Amino acid sequence: MNRKLILGGRMLALGLVSLFFLPACGGGGARPPSMSQGLLWNSTSATGTGGTTVPGGVLWVDPNSGLGGGTIGDLTPSSDDVTYSTPVVYIANNTHPLMTSTSSRSIREAEDGLMQALNGYRSRSLNGGAGGLGGGGGLGGGVVAPPLNAFLQGHDGLTRNARATCKHSSRFHPGPMGAGNPEGDTVNTGGVAPAGRLAKSKLTTTGVMELVISGDGYGDYNAAAAYFIANYGAALVDTRWTHFGVGYWTGGSEMFYWSVILANNPKP
């Protein structure tokens, strides 16, 4: 009896071992194919097309690199509030700007810097120089009060117009800036009706003058201020002016563009 129990136990153990080590008949225990047969993949590639054959050519540009986006001015965030064809059609299909807004810190800081430099010069001049309080000066001669407009007030409409003419020249018209543009406009005269850039921008004034400079030597507002003061000092201290706007743009053939519009009581 004991022998039968022992024999039965051995047979049961052999059966359990066979479950782990012997492949099932017709099951998934077949040996995998030999690696010497290669991968089961067929290449469908052929000679490449497109791209560039120039050594070192790059087929992708990091959008954050600043490359591949045109000139410097093209990368500056801005919106053209008024052009020659919007919102009023002065010249059909002409998208050159007349009024430009921007959120660019570098543009706005440059404009503010030039405004402060020119206002500083005007104030010193109209207050009798660096140490005076007026033309009379001195204890015996009395004190002459400076004019109320010793500082010019910044005007948003004039600034956007000045900025637009800088962007206009940078983006569309190679060469130095001039008083007029290829559309025939100066700041307040010429071109199709109504005459001048201000009128087309719905701005009116009883008197206006624009000063411009461009070139790679004017990348800093101090350099621009020095030029304007040296060449237009009398105009900058003219007491007719009550407001001004300063525009700046970069890129194009001249690299740096500046416009200063001096005006008398512009509206709105």
Identify the CATH number of the domain in which residue 204 sits: 3.40.33.10
Residues 6+ apart with CB under 8 A from 48: none
Please give the structure tokens belonging to residue 257.
């563009």
Average pLDDT over residues 97-123: 97
Name residue, tokens 């800081």: 109
**In this structure, how many other beta carbons lie within 10 angstroms of the beta carbon of residue 137?**
15
Q: CA Rg, the chain, in Å? A: 38
pLDDT band at residue 189 under the 50/70/90 scheme: very high
pLDDT tops 70 at residue 137? no
The DSSP bridge partners found for residue 163 are none
Residues 6+ apart with CB under 8 A from 238: 262
What is the predicted pLDDT for the residue at 64?
36
% of residues, the chain, pLDDT over 90: 62
Q: Are 262 and 236 within 8 A, CB to CB?
A: yes
* 187 located within any domain: yes
The DSSP bridge partners found for residue 154 are 244
What is the predicted pLDDT for the residue at 23?
45
pLDDT band at residue 126 under the 50/70/90 scheme: very high
* 13 located within any domain: no
What is the pTM for the complete model shown? 0.69
pLDDT tops 50 at residue 102? yes
* 101 located within any domain: yes
pLDDT tops 70 at residue 135? no
pLDDT tops 60 at residue 224? yes
At residue 213's C-alpha, the angle toward residues 92 and 123, to 5°, is 115
What is the predicted pLDDT for the residue at 74?
55
* Whether residue 87 has a cis bond before it, omega within 30° of 0: yes
* 98 located within any domain: yes
Nearest to 161 by CA among 252, 81, 253: 81
Task: Choose between 132 and 214: higher pLDDT.
Answer: 214
**In this structure, how many other beta carbons lie within 10 angstroms of the beta carbon of residue 132?**
15
Average pLDDT over residues 9-27: 48
Mean pLDDT in the chain? 79
Name residue, tokens 């900025």: 163
* 253 located within any domain: yes
Classified as helix, coil or strand, 185 is strand
DSSP state for residue 72 in the 8-state scheme: G
* 136 located within any domain: no
Q: Are 222 and 181 within 8 A, CB to CB?
A: no
pLDDT tops 50 at residue 191? yes
* 221 located within any domain: yes
What is the predicted pLDDT for the residue at 48?
38
Question: Domain span at residue 90?
Answer: 72-130+145-263
Classified as helix, coil or strand, 120 is helix
* 34 located within any domain: no
What are the Cα distances from residue 88, in Å, to 84, 93, 194, 266?
Answer: 7, 11, 11, 21
Residues 6+ apart with CB under 8 A from 25: none
How many domains are contained in the chain? 1
Q: Rounded to an integer, what distance in angstroms lies between the CA atom of residue 22 and that of residue 54?
A: 61
